């Protein structure tokens, strides 16, 4: 007996994927804020009038002991950088797109309950809405 093969035709309908919506504020993980030189962080923010922020911790791996106070040590040129409610916050100037940067320091408690001075230099990429 000769085996019979059945040919089955499948019609696949591929729906067009919706374009991914870019997050308005992206800050990849970084480390080294307790080192003498401090850490370098990057921030990508959509200029929609809203701030983008970074939360600093005395024990960053476990996201414990948030920073209690801080100051901007080098201001941004094309936006406003400030320390608000334990966060470094950056708001781009209206209509600005391009590169910006600022530096800050903050205080937090480390793993062994010792005070830490956290230093961060933030490189910012501002993109249009």
User: Is 1 inside any structural domain?
Assistant: no
Domain count of the chain? Answer: 1
With respect to residue 78, please indicate whether it lies within any of the assigned structural domains: yes
The helix or strand, by DSSP H or E, that contains position 39, with its residue range, turns out to be strand 39-46
Considering the entire predicted model, what is its pTM? 0.80
Q: Considering only 8-12, 39-43, 60-64, which range has the smallest mean pLDDT? A: 8-12
* Band of residue 49 on the pLDDT scale cut at 50, 70, 90: very high
Mean pLDDT of the chain: 86
- Whether 30 has a pLDDT exceeding 80, the answer reads yes
> What pLDDT is stored for residue 21 in this prediction?
47
Overall average pLDDT of the 26-32 stretch: 94
Tokens of 14: 């591929």
59 located within any domain: yes
| CATH number where 68 lies | 2.60.40
Range of the domain at 29: 25-127
The answer as to whether 63 is a domain residue is yes
Give the tens place of pLDDT for each residue, 64-122: 999 999 999 999 999 999 999 989 999 999 999 999 999 999 999 988 889 999 999 99
Please give the average per-residue pLDDT across 13-23, as a whole number: 45
Any domain includes 3: no
């Amino acid at each position: 007996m000769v085996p019979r093969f059945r040919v089955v035709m499948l019609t696949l309908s591929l729906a067009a994927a919706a374009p991914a919506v870019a997050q308005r504020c992206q800050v990849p993980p970084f480390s080294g804020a307790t080192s003498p030189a401090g850490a370098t962080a990057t921030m990508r923010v959509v200029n929609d009038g809203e701030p983008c922020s970074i939360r600093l911790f005395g024990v960053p791996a476990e996201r414990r002991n948030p920073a209690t106070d801080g100051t901007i040590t080098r201001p941004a040129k094309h936006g406003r950088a400030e320390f608000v409610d334990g966060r470094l916050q950056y708001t781009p100037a209206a209509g600005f797109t391009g590169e910006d940067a600022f530096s800050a320091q903050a205080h937090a408690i480390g793993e062994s309950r010792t005070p830490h001075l956290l230093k961060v230099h933030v490189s910012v990429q501002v993109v249009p809405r």
